[in-house]
Amino acid sequence: MKKNKASIPLNEVFAKSEKDPGWKAAYAKADFEVRMAVDIAKARQRARLTQKQLAKAIGTTQSVISRIERAEQNLTLATLNKIAAALHSELLIQLRQHSASARY
Protein backbone atom coordinates (compact mmCIF):
# COMPACT_ATOMS: atom_id res chain seq x y z
CA MET A 1 0.00 0.00 0.00
CA LYS A 2 1.36 3.37 -1.01
CA LYS A 3 1.67 5.92 1.78
CA ASN A 4 0.60 9.49 1.18
CA LYS A 5 3.23 12.14 1.76
CA ALA A 6 2.38 14.61 4.46
CA SER A 7 1.77 18.04 3.04
CA ILE A 8 2.95 21.25 4.62
CA PRO A 9 0.92 24.38 3.93
CA LEU A 10 2.83 27.00 1.95
CA ASN A 11 2.18 29.61 4.60
CA GLU A 12 4.28 27.49 6.98
CA VAL A 13 7.00 26.96 4.40
CA PHE A 14 7.31 30.67 3.67
CA ALA A 15 6.51 32.09 7.12
CA LYS A 16 10.11 32.27 8.32
CA SER A 17 11.70 32.77 4.91
CA GLU A 18 9.70 35.87 4.05
CA LYS A 19 10.91 37.61 7.21
CA ASP A 20 14.55 37.04 6.23
CA PRO A 21 16.01 40.05 4.37
CA GLY A 22 18.35 37.74 2.45
CA TRP A 23 15.43 35.65 1.22
CA LYS A 24 13.51 38.77 0.22
CA ALA A 25 16.48 40.04 -1.78
CA ALA A 26 16.96 36.68 -3.51
CA TYR A 27 13.25 36.50 -4.34
CA ALA A 28 13.35 40.01 -5.80
CA LYS A 29 16.28 39.01 -8.04
CA ALA A 30 14.75 35.67 -9.05
CA ASP A 31 13.64 35.18 -12.60
CA PHE A 32 10.10 36.18 -13.44
CA GLU A 33 9.13 32.52 -13.82
CA VAL A 34 10.19 31.69 -10.27
CA ARG A 35 8.36 34.67 -8.79
CA MET A 36 5.23 33.81 -10.79
CA ALA A 37 5.42 30.16 -9.69
CA VAL A 38 5.56 31.18 -6.03
CA ASP A 39 2.73 33.70 -6.51
CA ILE A 40 0.52 31.08 -8.17
CA ALA A 41 1.20 28.51 -5.45
CA LYS A 42 0.40 31.04 -2.72
CA ALA A 43 -2.78 32.21 -4.47
CA ARG A 44 -3.91 28.62 -4.95
CA GLN A 45 -3.43 27.93 -1.27
CA ARG A 46 -5.26 31.15 -0.28
CA ALA A 47 -8.14 29.97 -2.47
CA ARG A 48 -8.00 26.65 -0.59
CA LEU A 49 -7.64 24.65 -3.77
CA THR A 50 -5.50 21.60 -4.34
CA GLN A 51 -3.36 21.37 -7.45
CA LYS A 52 -5.85 18.85 -8.80
CA GLN A 53 -8.79 21.21 -8.21
CA LEU A 54 -7.02 24.10 -9.91
CA ALA A 55 -6.07 21.84 -12.80
CA LYS A 56 -9.68 20.79 -13.28
CA ALA A 57 -10.83 24.42 -13.14
CA ILE A 58 -8.51 25.43 -15.99
CA GLY A 59 -8.79 22.24 -18.02
CA THR A 60 -5.40 20.68 -17.44
CA THR A 61 -3.79 18.06 -15.22
CA GLN A 62 -2.38 18.16 -11.70
CA SER A 63 1.08 17.40 -13.08
CA VAL A 64 0.97 20.57 -15.20
CA ILE A 65 0.04 22.65 -12.14
CA SER A 66 2.89 21.03 -10.25
CA ARG A 67 5.33 21.97 -13.03
CA ILE A 68 3.94 25.53 -13.08
CA GLU A 69 4.47 25.86 -9.33
CA ARG A 70 8.05 24.58 -9.72
CA ALA A 71 8.70 27.09 -12.54
CA GLU A 72 9.30 24.20 -14.93
CA GLN A 73 6.44 24.98 -17.32
CA ASN A 74 6.35 27.74 -19.90
CA LEU A 75 3.19 29.76 -19.44
CA THR A 76 1.14 31.53 -22.06
CA LEU A 77 -0.90 34.61 -21.30
CA ALA A 78 -4.01 32.53 -21.96
CA THR A 79 -2.99 30.01 -19.28
CA LEU A 80 -2.12 32.78 -16.83
CA ASN A 81 -5.55 34.34 -17.45
CA LYS A 82 -7.26 30.99 -16.79
CA ILE A 83 -5.29 30.53 -13.56
CA ALA A 84 -6.09 34.06 -12.41
CA ALA A 85 -9.80 33.58 -13.11
CA ALA A 86 -9.87 30.22 -11.30
CA LEU A 87 -8.13 31.80 -8.30
CA HIS A 88 -10.47 34.83 -8.32
CA SER A 89 -7.46 37.04 -8.93
CA GLU A 90 -6.57 39.79 -11.33
CA LEU A 91 -3.60 39.26 -13.63
CA LEU A 92 -1.50 42.38 -14.03
CA ILE A 93 1.39 42.46 -16.49
CA GLN A 94 3.34 45.61 -17.12
CA LEU A 95 6.65 46.80 -18.44
CA ARG A 96 8.56 49.16 -16.19
CA GLN A 97 11.77 50.93 -16.98
CA HIS A 98 14.67 49.90 -14.77
CA SER A 99 15.82 52.47 -12.28
CA ALA A 100 19.07 54.24 -13.18
CA SER A 101 21.03 52.11 -10.70
CA ALA A 102 19.66 48.85 -12.12
CA ARG A 103 20.43 49.49 -15.78
CA TYR A 104 22.82 47.22 -17.59
pLDDT (tens digit per residue) in 56-67 = 999 999 999 999
Single-letter amino acid code for the residue at 23: W
CB neighbours of residue 79 within 10 Å: 16
Delimit the domains of the chain by residue range: 10-94
- Read out DSSP for 31-94? -HHHHHHHHHHHHHHHTT--HHHHHHHHTS-HHHHHHHHTT-S---HHHHHHHHHHTT------
* pLDDT tens digits for range 20-73: 777 667 666 667 888 899 899 999 999 999 999 999 999 999 999 999 999 888
pTM given for the model: 0.68
The gap between the terminal CA atoms of the chain, to the nearest Å, is: 55
Single-letter amino acid code for the residue at 1: M
- Look up the CATH architecture of domain 10-94: Orthogonal Bundle (1.10)
Residue 27: predicted pLDDT:
67
